[in-house]
């Protein structure tokens, strides 16, 4: 009797594992689709940002010959940079969050070597939780 009950319990656990695997696979497919959509949006915005950058450079070169006095056209030494850090909100993004954190730390170190301060703005709480425990300047 005990053997049959244990076998039924084991089969139930195997069924639960198969269901968990199916759900995880579906979540992976949804996440991959979202990443592809985000990449597509970035690629579609590239022509706009390139055109805008060219427009600004062109405008600035034309304004150097004009008699325009504006504090917005003055060249200044960069003292601080704001980094937008986008990480996960919940679990199942461990490798992504680790990569974001490592890249952010590397960029902070690059800026420090250049004598530039870094302030961080966060989207998602995983990176925020990591950097809140460290000596970084967080914009709240």
User: For residue 116, how far is the Cα from the chain centroid?
Assistant: 21
Contact 86, 123 (CB under 8 A): yes
User: 31: which residues sit within 8 A by CB, 6+ positions away?
Assistant: 92
d(CA 30, CA 38) in angstroms, rounded, equals 12
d(CA 97, CA 120) in angstroms, rounded, equals 15
Is residue 93 part of the annotated active site? The answer reads yes
Residue with tokens 């301060």: 117
Active-site hit among 93, 101, 116, 118: 93
Which residues are the active-site residues?
93
């Amino acid at each position: 009797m005990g053997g049959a009950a244990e076998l039924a319990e084991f089969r139930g656990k195997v069924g639960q594992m198969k269901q968990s695997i199916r759900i995880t696979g579906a979540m992976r497919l949804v996440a991959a689709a979202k990443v592809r959509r985000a990449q597509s949006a970035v690629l579609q915005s590239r022509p706009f940002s390139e055109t805008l950058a060219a427009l600004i450079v062109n405008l600035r070169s034309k304004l150097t010959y004009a008699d325009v006095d504006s504090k917005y056209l003055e060249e200044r030494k960069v003292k601080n940079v704001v980094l937008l850090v986008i990480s996960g909100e919940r679990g199942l993004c461990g490798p992504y969050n680790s990569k974001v954190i490592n890249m952010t730390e590397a960029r902070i170190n690059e800026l420090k070597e250049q004598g530039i301060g870094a302030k961080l703005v966060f989207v998602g709480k995983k990176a925020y939780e990591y950097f809140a425990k460290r000596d970084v300047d967080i914009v709240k």
